[in-house]
Structure 1
Amino acid sequence: MIASPHAQHPWFGATRTPRVLAHRGLVTTDAAAAGVAENSFAAVAAAHAVGAVYVESDCHLTADGVVVLFHDDDLSRVTGDPRPIAEVTSRELDALMAPLGGLITLDQALAAFPTLRFNLDVKAAAAAVGVGRSVARAADRVLVTSFSDDRRRAALAAAAAAGGRLATSAGMGTIARLLAAVALRSDRLIARTLAGIDALQVPERHGRLRVVTPRMIDAAHRHGVEVHVWTVNDPVDMQRLVALGVDGIVTDRADVAVRALAV
């Protein structure tokens, strides 16, 4: 049972656990065959259509200063264009994404899907302030994260300066310190590490290291912090992890997860 005030941020109030977080939206096999790309307008719309409430996405900044939902640093894998996204204007990116389900900017995502909660991973330092400023007005439905705690904190600070308090998930440095504190069984260090953190979004394993353990989950829950595991596409694994006590599943198959977890 999570008892701390951390989980009282409105982002967590949209549904009960377990939460399904649609990883980069939803691209089914048929949609992929039709050319729809991850993190496109169509992918976000598809996640919404199957009943997902949470969409996990990524943020980059274009050459003309527009925050867009896009994972990679460059366009090669998704569009075949080798340029870094930071060197492409939003107009150019819009044209490249048109046959792939359509570009979606952060502002468009918030406006077009007012009932969705967004879990935003800040992928570039240059995007952090723009992300924070853009989402401040919709802070009740945004959780911001990053592998980099510095990028995460920069986005949080920008949102706070604009009047918004965001939920947040720990960066890799914080997670590493938490795992060490859990191994030491130091509740004082655990509490210090988790101060200001609302969620831990982690893989079940990292190489040979098992990240998600009953002890880690218990430590998080004692301090009011949820545990979300990525990226889980097998319904059996989803159910096993929920039975272990995790609070959310980040998945490429939100349609499968919504059915398997009956959310």
Structure 2
Amino acid sequence: MGIDLPALIGHRGAAAVAPENTLAGLSAAHQAGVTWVEVDVKLSADNVAILMHDDDLRRTTDGHGPVRQKTFAEIAALDAGSWFDDRFKAEAVPTLQAGLQHLQALDLGLNLEIKPCRGRGPQTAAVAAAVLAAHNFPLEQVLITSFDWTAIAWLAEHAPRWHRGLLAENLNCDWQASSQALGCVSLHVADSAVDREAIGKIHDAGMCAAAYTINSVDRAAALRAAGLDAVITDDPGQLLPALPADGA
């Protein structure tokens, strides 16, 4: 397989204990002991790559309105932490550039999910790839994934050096042919769709198998025993001690 994924990846940093997609969240994941994190990237109105999951600002900031209609200056002025806990009221929405700098300082690997606003898949992939290249982030420490397969297609054609993976809710889609055509090294599917048979199918296709979002110790241990390569979790501090030593 084309990439060596860790057994545990912190989801949006460590979303159970710190505000998602923030520098504080990345620090929390590092403190929990994981070696990789997953974060989401999308574009502001002026095409700045930022760490953000939702298309609207309301849930994870004190702002509101579509991300695609706000400049980065407008987004940067928002509080991205108080919604989670008052302790994080100083947290801002970071740029991908700031996130990469923080990850490099912490020596964390990155599962970067391209989470584009509608119709901006290839454009988001292009900007993210340019930011990654400018930081000279180690190839073996980056995996780019997306539910928007047009974003992955752009990467396959224009930035093929980066490892790529597909996201899917289940295996009831054209994942095998698409993964092969796009040179993907992993398939990431929802917890509800993962079992030993599904893991076997993904491995038979020559790819790593990852599952999201798993916060149960027993479930994580069972899937690892069934051959799952990577568990994506909101609570790495809870799950990591329960996994085998090679799960770090």
Residues in 2 aligned to 1:158 and 1:117: alpha-carbon distance in whole angstroms = 22
CA distance in 1, matches of 2:207, 2:75: 37
Pick one of 13, 27, 35 that aligns with 1:25: 13
- Given the alignment, which residue of 223, 231, 245 partners 2:205? 223
One-letter amino acid of the counterpart of residue 195, structure 2: T
Q: How does 1:83-232 map to 2 (within 5 A)?
A: 83-97=65-79, 99=89, 101-114=91-104, 115-124=107-116, 125=120, 126-136=123-133, 137-138=136-137, 139-160=139-160, 165-172=161-168, 175-177=171-173, 190=176, 192-195=177-180, 196-205=183-192, 211-232=193-214
* Equivalent in 252, 256, 262 of residue 234 of structure 2: 252
Structure-2 separation of matches of 1:127 and 1:143: 15
Superposed CA RMSD in Å reads: 2.3
Cα displacement (A) at 1:225: 0.9
Three-state SS of the structure 1 residue aligned to 2:77 is helix
Query: Identity of aligned pairs, percent?
Result: 29
- The structure with more helix, counted as a fraction of residues: 1
Structure whose alpha-carbon radius of gyration is higher: 1
User: Tell me, which stretches of 5 or more residues in structure 1 are unaligned?
Assistant: 1-5, 32-36, 180-189, 206-210
Kindly tell me: are residues 123 and 28 of structure 1, through their superposed partners in 2, closer, same or farther at Cα, counting changes over 3 Å? closer
| Cα 1:157–1:133 shift into 2, 3 Å | farther
Aligned-pair CA distance for 1:108: 1.5
State the distance in 2 between where 1:171 and 1:49 align: 27
Map of 2:85 onto structure 1: none
Matched, 1:239 2:221: yes
What letter matches 1:149 in structure 2? Answer: W
Task: Give, in angstroms, the shift of residue 240 of structure 1.
Answer: 1.1
Q: Secondary structure at the match of 2:240?
A: helix
| Count of matched residue pairs | 225
What TM-score does the superposition give when structure 2 sets the normalisation length?
0.81
CA contact under 8 A between 1:67 and 1:105: conserved in structure 2?
Answer: yes
The structure-2 alpha-carbon separation of the partners of 1:158 and 1:68, relative to structure 1 and needing over 3 Å to count, comes to farther
Determine the C-alpha separation between the residues in 2 that align with 1:212 and 1:26.
22
Distance 1:45 1:249, change over 3 A: same
Q: Verify the 8 A CA contact 2:23 2:102 in the aligned structure 1.
A: no
> 1:177 Cα deviation (Å)?
3.5
Structure 1 residues 86-135: Cα deviation after superposition (integer angstroms, max 9, x where no partner): 22222222221362523221111222221211111111124121012222
Query: 1:208-250: per-residue Cα shift (whole Å, max 9, x none)?
Result: xxx2232221222233311111101011111111111111111
Q: Distance in 1 between matches of 2:166 and 2:15?
A: 27
Task: Structure 2 unaligned segments of length 5 or more: list them.
Answer: 81-88
Question: Structure 2 vs 1, CA of residues 212 and 54 (structure 1 numbering), >3 Å: closer, same or farther?
Answer: same
TM-score (norm 1): 0.77
